[in-house]
Chains A and B, each alone.
Chain A
Amino acid sequence: MKKYYQPEIETMPREALQKLQSEKLCKQVKHVYENVAYYRDLMDKAGVKPEDIHGIEDLHLLPFISKYDLREAYPTGFLAVPKERCVRVHSTSGTTGKRVIAYYTQHDIDLWEDCCARAITAAGADKGDTLQICYGYGLFTGGMGLHGGSHKVGCMTLPMSSGNTERQIQFMMDLEASVLCCTPSYAAYIAETLKEMGYTPDKIPLKAGIFGAEPWTREMRESIEKSLGIKAYDIYGLTEMSGPGVAFECEAQSGMHINEDHFIAEIIDPQTGEVLPEGSEGELVFTCLDKEAFPLLRYRTRDICILSSEPCPCGRTHIKMRKPMGRSDDMMIIRGVNVFPSQIEAVLVKRGYSTNYRIELDRVNNSDTFDIYVELTPEQFTDTVREISAMERFLEGAIHTMIGISPKVHLVAPKTIDRSDGKAVRVVDKRKLHD
């Protein structure tokens, strides 16, 4: 079995890697300055010329790009090649505002699919494996990105797209899928359905899963691994950089290797924009190194995370990012306290509750209401109201211990909270704070 998809790059000594990054960065900055008027203005305002960038040590001189800039420049403001050179677009869901349209030349697609191929190989897949891809196909990058990567590795690819769980399971069983690619919440749902149908983990053909596109906790990983009898690998990406595969987990399962020959990662203080030393927690910022159509420099992801370049037992030399604690967009401020849905999830999984939950926030008489709906499992259901109420109070206490404020927990019937075929809707914020 192959260990690396591109060994010479994935295990390149760091010094050589940084030299490669420096060369690519100078070229990329020149390309952007010449072809993207919006960014040229930003650089001019900051008083930076492409000649000032001699290598990665000068990266901090470049201005940031935020989601705001992408909205301002919608739809073609960051397109850096003539449209006729592009072969595809993808788009974000636009749930937090205007969509971001990302453009790709064939070169851009190739490098993106290479990144996905590295992730698939790192999850232990090779020719002869069957990949079941139930990320959405279409504008969302999840489906097509891993699809292309799977072709590059030479795996048999099942382009299932999301939804129709019954059909997913039929294909998984009949075609003996060995690797499942989907969101962690959908993996948990498939696991639950398989269990209901009477399949024990040893009867499930899967050996690994590549799960991403939404935050998930270590507890959720353990629960998925146990119920499907697999190793679950994390994958990270964003449409603005290319899609899934910007970073991926190896067998060490201790953080995701960033594909540093294509993307430089920085951690900054989200308030001041100051670059923080390695090991600090802060906002993750990415710079493309060899993109043609949509080359973003110093793009602020809003993801909060930590980087580490400590040597990895897998032999890859690329820096690792810890699983993001949450997107700063996902962070809720409830009664003045910062809360991430992942913190709530960790409590639920630890106590044996379903990972299908919904947080509802509202404002009544100028104070925040904080309700969490959690599905009961059949095992937890009992015949007395007293016992179920006690479970609710217990969860409220456990969550209070975790985050410092008390929610009202409501246990509801199994399968009554909307299931996520794509990205899970965990938070419904009905507070109108900005009208």
Chain B
Amino acid sequence: MAISQLTVFVGNNKGSIADITEVLAKANVNLHAMNVADTDNFGILRLIADDADRALCALGEAKVLAKLRKVVCFEVPDEPGGLSKVLRLLADHDVNTEYMYSLITGSVKSAYIVIRVADNDVAEKLLTEAGYRVLNDEDVAGV
């Protein structure tokens, strides 16, 4: 399953993220989540879009360096300790999360978490068996 994340290279110059979001806005792409990792020289922008392929096309045409990568997305109860339980579960099973961020939704009961792990299948099997709902691209477009 897993969901498609856009990974975009962001140069270290003024307005570079604005330039990227403008390209996506023009292509009528809606964003559900974003996360930026930064270094001295550049940033890596990670995006979950309603249509990853259309977004990738638009970025390619605008000569922006971008790639698709599959990441795991799952639902947790929006309550104290909701996240920590699942992270403990993953840690106990040696599933190392490289990075993590959350998805914007209209739901008040649930939160949606995106994680980047070495093996998506292993993580998804573990989460499903523990009773967590794991999302695919269509689910994300609907939340």
**Residues of chain A contacted by B5 (CB below 8 angstroms):** 383
Against B, the Cβ 8 Å flags (1 = close, 0 = not) of A408-430 are 00111111100000000000000
Does B37 make an interface contact (CB < 8 A)? Answer: yes
Q: How many residues in A have their beta carbons less than 8 Å from beta carbons of B?
A: 17
The reply to whether B44 and A385 form a contact with Cβ atoms under 8 Å apart is yes
Residue on A with the closest CB to B16?
A413
Does B65 make an interface contact (CB < 8 A)? Answer: yes
The reply to whether A376 and B44 form a contact with Cβ atoms under 8 Å apart is no
**Residues of chain B contacted by A382 (CB below 8 angstroms):** 7, 67
The reply to whether B44 and A413 form a contact with Cβ atoms under 8 Å apart is no
Chain B contact surface mostly = strand
Closest Cβ–Cβ distance, residue B112 to chain A (whole Å): 19
Does A313 make an interface contact (CB < 8 A)? Answer: no
**Residues of chain A contacted by B39 (CB below 8 angstroms):** 385, 388-389
Residue on B with the closest CB to A196?
B63
Contact-residue bracket for chain B: 10 to 19
Residue on A with the closest CB to B69?
A383
**Residues of chain A contacted by B69 (CB below 8 angstroms):** 383
Does A378 make an interface contact (CB < 8 A)? Answer: yes
**Residues of chain A contacted by B9 (CB below 8 angstroms):** 376, 381, 413
Chain A contact surface mostly = loop
The reply to whether B11 and A383 form a contact with Cβ atoms under 8 Å apart is no
The reply to whether B7 and A383 form a contact with Cβ atoms under 8 Å apart is yes
Q: How far is the CA of A382 from the CA of B69 in the complex (A)?
A: 9
**Residues of chain A contacted by B67 (CB below 8 angstroms):** 378, 381-383
User: Knowing A381-B65, A384-B98, A384-B116 touch, does A416 contact B11 (C-beta < 8 A)?
Assistant: yes
Does A434 make an interface contact (CB < 8 A)? Answer: no
**Residues of chain B contacted by A383 (CB below 8 angstroms):** 5, 7, 44, 46, 67, 69, 116
Does B94 make an interface contact (CB < 8 A)? Answer: no
Does A386 make an interface contact (CB < 8 A)? Answer: yes
The reply to whether B11 and A415 form a contact with Cβ atoms under 8 Å apart is no
The reply to whether A411 and B116 form a contact with Cβ atoms under 8 Å apart is no
Interface centre among B5, B44, B65, B98, by most chain A C-beta atoms within 10 angstroms, is B65
Q: How far is the CA of A147 from the CA of B44 in the complex (A)?
A: 47
Q: Which of B1-16 contact A (CB under 8 A)?
A: 5, 7, 9, 11
Closest Cβ–Cβ distance, residue B6 to chain A (whole Å): 9
Closest Cβ–Cβ distance, residue B71 to chain A (whole Å): 9
Q: How far is the CA of A378 from the CA of B65 in the complex (A)?
A: 7
The reply to whether A410 and B41 form a contact with Cβ atoms under 8 Å apart is yes
**Residues of chain B contacted by A385 (CB below 8 angstroms):** 37-39, 44
The reply to whether B65 and A414 form a contact with Cβ atoms under 8 Å apart is yes
Of A381, A410, A415, which one neighbours B63 at CB under 8 angstroms? A415
Residue on B with the closest CB to A409?
B41
Of A376, A381, A410, A413, which one neighbours B40 at CB under 8 angstroms? A410
The reply to whether B44 and A384 form a contact with Cβ atoms under 8 Å apart is yes
Of A381, A412, A414, which one neighbours B41 at CB under 8 angstroms? A412
**Residues of chain B contacted by A410 (CB below 8 angstroms):** 40-41
The reply to whether B41 and A376 form a contact with Cβ atoms under 8 Å apart is no
Closest Cβ–Cβ distance, residue A8 to chain B (whole Å): 54
The reply to whether B98 and A413 form a contact with Cβ atoms under 8 Å apart is no
Against A, the Cβ 8 Å flags (1 = close, 0 = not) of B33-71 are 000011111101010000000000000000101010100
Interface centre among B9, B67, B69, B116, by most chain A C-beta atoms within 10 angstroms, is B9
Against B, the Cβ 8 Å flags (1 = close, 0 = not) of A235-264 are 000000000000000000000000000000
Interface centre among A384, A411, A415, by most chain B C-beta atoms within 10 angstroms, is A384
**Residues of chain B contacted by A411 (CB below 8 angstroms):** 41-42
Q: How far is the CA of A376 from the CA of B42 in the complex (A)?
A: 11
Q: How far is the CA of A414 from the CA of B66 in the complex (A)?
A: 11
Instruction: For the complex of A and B, list the 7 residue pairs with the smallest distance between their C-beta atoms, beginning with the closest.
Output: A383-B7, A410-B41, A413-B11, A385-B37, A383-B69, A413-B9, A384-B98
Q: Which residues of B contact A (CB under 8 A)?
A: 5, 7, 9, 11, 37-42, 44, 46, 63, 65, 67, 69, 98-99, 116
Q: Which residues of A contact B (CB under 8 A)?
A: 376, 378, 381-386, 388-389, 410-416
Q: A381-B7, A383-B69, A384-B99 are in contact. List 16 more A-B contacts (CB 8 A).
A: A376-B9, A378-B67, A381-B65, A382-B7, A382-B67, A383-B5, A383-B7, A383-B44, A383-B116, A384-B116, A385-B39, A386-B98, A411-B42, A413-B65, A415-B63, A416-B11
Sample 27 A-B pairs with CB under 8 A, ordered by A number. Answer: A376-B9, A376-B65, A378-B67, A381-B7, A381-B9, A381-B65, A381-B67, A383-B5, A383-B67, A383-B69, A384-B37, A384-B98, A384-B99, A384-B116, A385-B37, A386-B98, A388-B44, A389-B39, A410-B41, A411-B41, A411-B42, A412-B11, A412-B42, A413-B9, A413-B65, A414-B65, A416-B11
